[in-house]
Structure 1
Amino acid sequence: MIDRFLDAFWAERGAAAATLEAYRHDLQQFLAAVPVRAGSIDKSHVLAFLAGRMRSGVSTTSIVRQLSCLRQFFAWALRESIVSRNPMLDIDGPRRPQSLPGTLTAGQVEALLAVPDTETPLGLRDRAMLETLYATGMRVSELADLNLGRLNIGQGVIRVLGKGGRERLVPLGEAALDALQQWLRVRPELHPQDERVFVSRSGRPLSRQAVWQRIRDLARRAGIAEPVYPHRLRHSFATHLLDNGADLRVVQMLLGHADLATTQIYTHVSRARLKALHRQHHPRG
C-alpha cells in the first residue's frame, strides 16, 4: 500500500527521491504504531500518534513533515476507497518555527572567494565552484549533478535541473563565467570519468558531501568564524539580490522555488539586515 501511494505521489508531484524516502519512513512508523488496519484509522488514532511523538521530544519540523505526509496519504487512500473518510480533516498541527537563513556579508563572500590557489587545477576548481554557487544560488545537489551539456558558455547561462525535475535557466555573471572558463581549460588534466563539471583529484565526480566539506575547509581558511556550507551561499545569493532591489518573483525563478511563499522568507532577512545597519550607523538608531 505504501509503495502504491509513493508511486502515485511521484507521478502526480514529481517528488524528489529524498522526499519519497522520508515519506516512506513516516508512513511505516505511523502504520506500525496504530493498532488497527488502515481502513479503520480515525482521527483519534492520528491525534494519539502525534501526542506520542511530541512527548518523545521529536522536533516540530519532523512533526510538521509527518502531518504533511499523512494528509497526502489519506487523501490518496480516500480516492482509492481504502478508507471511507479522511481522518486528517480538521487536524491542525504545530506551526513550523520560522528560522531566518544564515547569510554571509559581501565582505565574507569576497574573503571566501579569495582563498583558492588559482595556480593549481584544484584551486581553479574550488574558485569556480564558489563563484558558481554564489552567482546562481544553486543547491549543492544541483551543482554536484551539473554536467557539461547544461553549460552554455557563449550565452553565459546554466540550465539547472532542480527539484521534481523542474528546469530553469540561470545567468552566470562575468566573474563566475571567467572562473568556469579557467577551470574547464585545466579540467582535462584530471582525466574526468564522466561529463560532470566538477571532479576530484582522481577524476571522479564530486559528491555533495565532498563539496560541503571543501567549502567548510575554505571558509575556515578565510577566517570566517561561523559555519559555512553550500546552502549558506544560496541564502546569501538571494538576500544580496533583494538588498540591491531585485524583484521577489525574479529571485523565486532564479532559486527554482515552486511557491513564492518559500522565497518570501528572504524579505525578512533583508529587513533584519537593514534594521541592523540602521541601528549601527544612524545617529538615533
Structure 2
Amino acid sequence: MDVLERFTRESPPVSDGRRSAQLKVLHGLERFVAPAPLLSADGEAVRAFLNGRRDGGASAGTVRKERSVMTSFFTWAWREGLVTADALIAIRSIPVPEGSSGVAQPRPYKRWEIQELWRVLDERWARLAPEDAERWLRRWQEGRSPYSRVRSHAIHLQLEAVVVLALSCGVRRGEIYRCSVDDIHPDNAYISVRRSDGTIRELPHTGMARRAAGEWLDFRARVDPPHDRAWLNLWSENTITQPMTEHSFEKLLGSYLGRGWTFRRLRDTGAVEWLRAGLQVWHLQRMLGHRSMKDTLPYVEAAGGDVQRKLEQVERALPWSRTARQNVASG
C-alpha cells in the first residue's frame, strides 16, 4: 500500500476537503524529492521545498499551513516506525515562516544589484567567445577534448536563460522549471507557461528572453538529451543528458551564484521596472499571471506609484465627471 494511502486510512479522520488539501501538499513534496521516496525527505529537503514555495509567491500563511501538514505527516510516520526520531526532530525544527497571510509585498533588487548579478555570472561561469565555443564544442563532441573545457560555458548559458525568464518575463520558479524546449523556443511568438494545476498561459517573448533561450537551446541541441525538458544537470559529463531535478532547480541560484538571489525577487524586479517604464497595470497582471488585481497592486506601490493620485487624475478625464462637464459647457 502506498504510504499516502496508508496515511489516509490510519491517521485521525478529517473532513474530505482538509484531507484533499493535505494530500496536495504531500504530493508536492513527493514530486520535489523524486526519484527518492517521500519518507526519505529530511529537514533540509522540507526546508528547501517550503523556501521554494515562498519564492514562488506563496504567502507566509500558506507556507505555515503546509509546514503544519508535513509536521503532522512525519509525526504519524514516526509513530508508525517509518522514520527516525532524528528525522522528525529536524523537520519540527524548521522555523515557522514569519509575515502576513495577505498578499506578499514585492522586494525588487536595486539596479546596482542586478548589475552585480551579471558580474558574478560572468566571473564565476565565464562563457567562451563564439569562435572558441564552436571549436571546443566540436572537439568535445568528437572526443578530443574533456567536458571541463566547455562546462563553464554551458552553465553560463543555462543560468542566463533561467535568470532572464524570471527577470525579463516575470515567470515563477516552478513555471520555469516545468518548461519544455517547445515552451521557450525563440521561434515562437509566445512563451508557454505551465501552472502547477496543469493550465497554460502565454507570455510575449521578449527580445532578451528570445536571445538567452536561443543560445541555451542551441547548446542543448548539441548535447541531444533523450527528453524534452529544458534544463539539464550540467554538473558532470555523466549527468549532462539528464533533466535537472526540482530539488536542484530550487537551489540553482544559490548554488551557482551565491546566497541572496531568488527567483521571486528577480520576478519582482522585472515587474517593478516594467511599471516604471510605463507598462499599464492590467498588462502587468497578465504578465504575472495574477487572477486578481489585488495581487498586482502592491507592485504599483513598490514602483513608487500613488494609486489615489492616479485615480483622481483619471476621474477628472471621465466624460461623466464634474470637471469634464464644465469643460464642455465652457467650450
Shorter-chain TM-score: which interval?
0.5 to 0.7
Distance 1:188 1:237, change over 3 A: same
Structure 1 alignment gaps of length 5 or more: 23-58, 67-93, 221-225, 274-285
The answer on whether the counterparts of 2:127 and 2:156 sit within 8 Å (CA) in structure 1 is yes
The answer on whether the counterparts of 1:117 and 1:123 sit within 8 Å (CA) in structure 2 is yes
| Aligned-residue CA RMSD (Å) | 3.6
Aligned mate of 1:134, from 162, 167, 185: 167
Distance 1:64 1:238, change over 3 A: same
Residue number in structure 2 paired with 1:210: 248
Q: TM-score, normalised by structure 2?
A: 0.51
The answer on whether the counterparts of 2:185 and 2:217 sit within 8 Å (CA) in structure 1 is no
Distance 1:95 1:177, change over 3 A: closer
Residue number in structure 2 paired with 1:253: 286
Distance 1:173 1:97, change over 3 A: closer
Distance 1:206 1:21, change over 3 A: closer
Q: What is the CA–CA distance in structure 2 between the aligned matches of 1:166 and 1:16, rounded to whole Å?
A: 20
Residue number in structure 2 paired with 1:242: 275
Residue number in structure 1 paired with 2:107: 102
The answer on whether the counterparts of 1:136 and 1:237 sit within 8 Å (CA) in structure 2 is yes
Q: What is the CA–CA distance in structure 2 between the aligned matches of 1:95 and 1:124, rounded to whole Å?
A: 37
The answer on whether the counterparts of 1:134 and 1:237 sit within 8 Å (CA) in structure 2 is yes
Residue number in structure 2 paired with 1:118: 127
Cα offset, 1:131, TM superposition: 1.4
Cα offset, 1:137, TM superposition: 1.0
Q: What is the CA–CA distance in structure 1 between the aligned matches of 2:208 and 2:62, rounded to whole Å?
A: 39
Residue number in structure 1 paired with 2:61: 61
Identity level (%): 17
1:103-182, aligned counterparts within 5 Å?
103-114=108-119, 115=121, 116-119=125-128, 120-182=153-215
Q: What is the CA–CA distance in structure 2 between the aligned matches of 1:186 and 1:21, rounded to whole Å?
A: 31
Cα offset, 1:113, TM superposition: 3.1
Distance 1:6 1:230, change over 3 A: same
Residues 86-132 of structure 1 deviation map (CA, whole Å, 9 limit, x = unaligned):
xxxxxxxx973665322112332233234142222222111111112
Distance 1:207 1:243, change over 3 A: farther
Distance 1:147 1:252, change over 3 A: same
Q: Secondary structure at the match of 1:165?
A: coil
Cα offset, 1:227, TM superposition: 1.6
Distance 1:107 1:163, change over 3 A: same
Pick which of 94-103 and 243-252 moved more: 94-103
The answer on whether the counterparts of 1:158 and 1:171 sit within 8 Å (CA) in structure 2 is yes
Cα offset, 1:235, TM superposition: 1.1
